Every structure is written in structure tokens, then in C-alpha cells.
Structure 1
Amino acid sequence: MSGGVVRVDTTSPVPPYEQIRAQLAALITTGRLPEGERLPTVRQLAADLGLAAGTVARAYRELEAASLIRTRRGAGTRVAPLPAPADRPDPAAELAALARGFVAQARVLGATEEQVTAAVRAALRE
């Protein structure tokens, strides 16, 4: 995995493990991190981000529970094959988590509900 792909905003109300999980999940599901790509060790990513190893470990556990990554002793942590489209879970939970994070960050910026809605509509048109 190329360095600097994942970033954590420590001023965000979104917990760091959730920021890591959401960013890696997006990179995997969009194909920017291909199947078989090796991820940094928990300790390495924690050191790179200046976080506790437990924070990164929690993100990795959640990604593993979602079948997006696999950890094998001696082989490290790698991107798992994506399930066939029919086998993929409903994206509602993932969308809700992403929306909560976006809204929380927009509130920190002082954005109004109308501005948040306009930003989402603009992004959907892109």
C-alpha cells in the first residue's frame, strides 16, 4: 500500500478507528486497493498515523469482519477478494456511517442543513 493513502483528522468527532476503517473500505470497494494488496502491519500504520496500535487493530478487525481484508500468520494482512455483486451486503449501514461522519465534520465547519444537502447533491452530480 502506498504511503499517505489513509489520513486521520484528530479534530474530527468521528473516532480515528472509524476514519481508518471507512477510508480503507472505500479504497478496497472502489478497486484502488486491489485484491491481494498487502496492508501495513498494525504497528506500522499506527506509527505512520501517530496513533495507538489498538486503534488500528480495531479498524482492521472491523474490515476483517466485513470480509474486506484477511490476516494470515506469515503472509500479513491483505485485501480479500470482493464478493460477487449479488453476495455483497446492503450498503445501507455503510452509507449511514459515512453520512454520520460527513454530517459531523460539516457541523464542525458550521455548515447549515441546506449547505450539507447542497454539497451532497453536487457530489452526486459529479
Structure 2
Amino acid sequence: MTSTTTPLKIRIDDSAGAPAPYEQLRAQIADRARSGKLPAGFKLPTVRGLAQELGLAANTVAKAYRALETDGVIETRGRNGTFVAAAEGSSREAATAAQAYAERAHRLGLTEAEALGAATTALRARYGR
């Protein structure tokens, strides 16, 4: 059995009898998104980047991404990339805001702990804790 793993922990099994690679990719991303292992707002690799990581054709990854987008699991935001979609309106808006905050904190050079601390302080102040 041959398999490839990405930082997303996607495994493609190319042994005989395994589902098509596109279906394996689609199912694994969908399962991880629905279980919360890939949180709403998580930025997915580009089609070409993921294809290269997995050793697949770009068309295979694009087909999986199209199916996931049709199912509402992911959303493409033009040049900004492809993200795990939020379940509903307010969740989607919160995920978008969180993603924007994460990108800003990164540009400012904050560590993850510093960014989380700033967000926690702001939330506690807002909710009166």
C-alpha cells in the first residue's frame, strides 16, 4: 500500500480497490470539516500546492474542491484562497473575522500565544468577565 500525507493529515491510498484519489480527498476534507478538526475559516492549500504535496494531478484536487464547494463544505474567496466554510450566517461571519484577525496578528509578528492572549482579553472585556 502506498500513501501520501499532507500537513492536513490527508492520506491518499493508491492501492488496488481503494476509492479514486479525488473521492478520498473529498471525503477526508469533508469529514475533518464536519468534525471540527478543520475549523471554519481554516485556509486550505492551493489546488496546485495540494496536488504537489499529494503527488496528484491538479485536476484531481480541483475536482475534489469543486465537489466540496458545491456541498457547502468549503468556499473560495477569489484571490484570498479557499477556506473551510462556516455552518451558518453568524458562525460564518465570526470565522471570517477570526481569520482576518489571525492574518493581522501574523503580519504584526505576534506569536500564537500573544494573539490568543489579546483576543481572550478583548472577549473577556466585552462579556464583562
TM > 0.5: yes
Any idea what SS the aligned residue of 2:11 has?
coil
Question: Superposed, which structure 2 residues align to 1:53-72 within 5 Å?
Answer: 53-72=58-77
The equivalent residue for 1:41 is 46
- Residue 66 of structure 1 and its aligned partner are, at CA, apart by 0.3
Point out the structure with max Rg over C-alpha.
2
Does the C-alpha gap of structure 1 residues 17 and 27 become closer, same or farther in structure 2, counting only changes over 3 Å?
A: same
**Higher RCO structure, 1 or 2 (CA under 8 Å, sep 6+):** 1
Match of 2:103 in 1: none
Equivalences, count = 83
Distance 1:45 1:62, change over 3 A: same
| 1:29 to 2:34 alignment | yes
Amino acid at match of 2:9: V
What residue number does 1:6 align with? Answer: 10
Identical aligned pairs, as a percentage?
49
Cα deviation per residue 1:88-110 (whole Å; 9 max; x = unaligned)? xxxxxxxxxxxxxxxxxxxxxxx
> Which of 52, 65, 74 in structure 1 is aligned with 2:57?
52
TM-score, normalised with respect to structure 2 = 0.61
TM-score with structure 1 length normalisation? 0.62
5+ residue gaps, structure 1, are 85-126
Distance in structure 1 (CA, Å) of the matches to 2:19 and 2:10: 14
Q: Which segments of 5 or more consecutive residues in structure 2 lack a partner in the other structure? A: 1-5, 90-129
After TM superposition, the runs of 4+ consecutive aligned structure 1 residues lying more than 4 A away are none
